[in-house]
Chain A
């Protein structure tokens, strides 16, 4: 018996070390997927740094070993913009301190891994708010800069307009200041540069006052929207933020819209009462409706009606700027083995909106298989500061949520439809957003972004050895 025990222990020790060894090998080549689970990439290692020294070390060591670096924040991009085969994945989330707040100048300096939520929690008690961010606040500042986001704000253009300066860890391993006055070329490249030009360290952003808004909602038809927007929204100084929805329900497909305007309230003295930051509300109900609308046409009709009625009920209610900029997205989280949900975003000049939607509708009606779940519409003012700028004119930005299977045939079918949609967008002098899956052709990229060649040439100038890499570059350079 004693003998048996000892033999068992020896066998166990042998298995133990084999398992640890195998586990170690597996861990050294971790596989990462993009948010849409369409791209799966084996990377060399995952690393992160808490301070500048760590980050310099990571860059130096990658250079020495001829590795590439892919820089990551929350990683909600959908085409491998934070991934590259056999590269080092540099996760910036732990580099997230708030460094300085100048309340008089309304400027804040944060490390790039800080999220909008981190900043909001810090500035909200001081009566300050962000100028531009996504509608959701889960994203890091560095990631948002890299995709040059825009949101519901209609008065401050894209995020780039709110950036005062930042420091950049370059491919040479040096830290430089970047602003409109210093290294200006990099200012225009790094913002909307998808992490291809260096590691964004700390960022100084312009803030604005937190304000109390009154919600105003309104239903209209798609062909009334441009005029309505120009007359009632953009010319009305009181409107600070705006969001619209375009129906994807079969009964009202690409016809009906409703808008939500956020008007500066006449009762700013009530701000204090409303300034507690919202927490995630109950998501069970929107999740249920979205779930039903994924499956069926009647579900889509039901979802649209419910959303519209719910929004109407918000009419007249008060909300602070900070709370408008932290809306909930967890109800959209979708876990399914064979399906996924992808986003697309198209920008189209305000004046071309009506004809654009007509063309889009004519094309989509011939694609019954294409499962479009939601379209939101925002506004972004012309801003061509970034090399990869999408706002070549004053644009409406349409965000499309699409449910699709992940098998090869469905991918192909989706690609066909999406390329057609992009073509229609381009015909109407529009462009499309780049953080999503690389359905678009190279040619479409160059039409949407006329400075694409320059962008890739400057990549070679600032990073000749291609230290900072991702699948976006791989696909389109």
Chain B
């Protein structure tokens, strides 16, 4: 996978994530009944991520970034199918823990891939270009979703995002053998 393919992949998952995350808060508000539960939901997400980074780091070097990105994509695609069905606060806690783990995989793999792919001399430009395109994708997605919410339920946004993640998983697996 070259940087261009990686940008396509990251833009897709970026778009998918942007579709849900701002509106995800609305969903949590429907399920949770206090701000402290809200705090816990996000806290669990961050804590799981924190504790899993060392492990993920090791895995990244052993298994390769592609496999981890594929796990992330398919994992997200699957969990977003479960989200619309959650209606108790403990469901959300469990999902947040899984999302924390997946989120950590994505963050670590993104950086590991870039670190391996870019030239040290032109790293600034290359990473800049990478961020440019992924950010544009995310921005468009957030704005467009704002309109979509008027027509679709929050439930259907989860499904749309899930399909996007599934596609990204499908896409990233195409490259796995070439680099290994």
Is chain B found bound to chain A in the same assembly? yes
Contact indicator A37/B176 (Cβ below 8 Å):
no
Contacts of A336 in B (CB 8 A): 33-34
Known contacts A9-B166, A16-B162; is A26 also within 8 Å of B85 by CB? yes
Provide a sorted-by-A list of 25 A–B residue pairs whose CB atoms are within 8 angstroms: A1-B176, A4-B173, A5-B174, A8-B173, A9-B166, A12-B77, A12-B166, A15-B81, A16-B81, A16-B166, A19-B82, A19-B85, A19-B159, A22-B85, A23-B84, A23-B85, A26-B85, A26-B87, A335-B33, A335-B34, A335-B35, A336-B34, A337-B33, A337-B36, A337-B37
Q: In the complex, what residue of chain B is closest to A33 when comparing beta carbons?
A: B33
Contact indicator A23/B155 (Cβ below 8 Å):
yes
Quick one: which of B56-101 are within 8 Å of A by CB? 74, 77-78, 81-82, 84-85, 87, 89
Quick one: which of B125-180 are within 8 Å of A by CB? 155, 159, 162-163, 166, 169-170, 173-174, 176-177
Quick one: which of B36-57 are within 8 Å of A by CB? 36-37
Which 10 residue pairs across A and B have the least CB separation, nearest first? Answer: A19-B81, A337-B34, A23-B84, A335-B34, A5-B173, A12-B166, A337-B33, A336-B34, A15-B81, A1-B177
Known: A18-B81, A20-B159. 15 other contacts (CB 8 A): A1-B176, A4-B173, A5-B170, A16-B159, A16-B162, A19-B85, A22-B85, A23-B155, A26-B85, A26-B87, A27-B155, A37-B33, A335-B34, A336-B33, A336-B34
Q: In the complex, what residue of chain A is closest to B73 when comparing beta carbons?
A: A8
**Size of chain A's interface in residues, with CB distance under 8 A?**
20
Contacts of A31 in B (CB 8 A): 87
Q: In the complex, what residue of chain B is closest to A339 when comparing beta carbons?
A: B34
Contacts of B174 in A (CB 8 A): 5
Nearest Cβ on chain B to A211's Cβ, whole angstroms: 40
Q: How would you classify the secondary structure of chain A's contact residues: helix, strand, loop or mixed?
A: helix
Q: How would you classify the secondary structure of chain B's contact residues: helix, strand, loop or mixed?
A: helix
Interface centre among A12, A22, A31, A337 (most CB of B within 10 A): A12
Nearest Cβ on chain A to B166's Cβ, whole angstroms: 5
Alpha-carbon distance A31/B31, docked complex (angstroms): 11
Contacts of B34 in A (CB 8 A): 335-337
Which B residues lie at the A interface, using CB under 8 A?
33-37, 74, 77-78, 81-82, 84-85, 87, 89, 155, 159, 162-163, 166, 169-170, 173-174, 176-177
Alpha-carbon distance A336/B33, docked complex (angstroms): 6
Alpha-carbon distance A71/B105, docked complex (angstroms): 48
Which A residues lie at the B interface, using CB under 8 A?
1, 4-5, 8-9, 12, 15-16, 18-20, 22-23, 26-27, 31, 37, 335-337
Contacts of B159 in A (CB 8 A): 16, 19-20
Interface centre among B33, B169, B176 (most CB of A within 10 A): B33
Nearest Cβ on chain B to A21's Cβ, whole angstroms: 10
Known contacts A19-B81, A337-B34; is A8 also within 8 Å of B155 by CB? no
Contact indicator A8/B170 (Cβ below 8 Å):
yes
Nearest Cβ on chain A to B13's Cβ, whole angstroms: 15
Nearest Cβ on chain A to B21's Cβ, whole angstroms: 19
Contacts of B163 in A (CB 8 A): 16
Alpha-carbon distance A1/B177, docked complex (angstroms): 8
Contacts of B87 in A (CB 8 A): 26, 31
Contacts of A22 in B (CB 8 A): 85
Q: In the complex, what residue of chain A is closest to B174 when comparing beta carbons?
A: A5
Nearest Cβ on chain A to B43's Cβ, whole angstroms: 16
Alpha-carbon distance A271/B85, docked complex (angstroms): 54
Contacts of A16 in B (CB 8 A): 81, 159, 162-163, 166
Interface centre among A16, A22, A27, A336 (most CB of B within 10 A): A16
Q: In the complex, what residue of chain A is closest to B84 when comparing beta carbons?
A: A23
Contacts of B37 in A (CB 8 A): 337
Nearest Cβ on chain B to A103's Cβ, whole angstroms: 35
Q: In the complex, what residue of chain B is closest to A22 when comparing beta carbons?
A: B85
Contacts of B81 in A (CB 8 A): 15-16, 18-19
Contacts of A27 in B (CB 8 A): 155
Q: In the complex, what residue of chain B is closest to A4 when comparing beta carbons?
A: B173
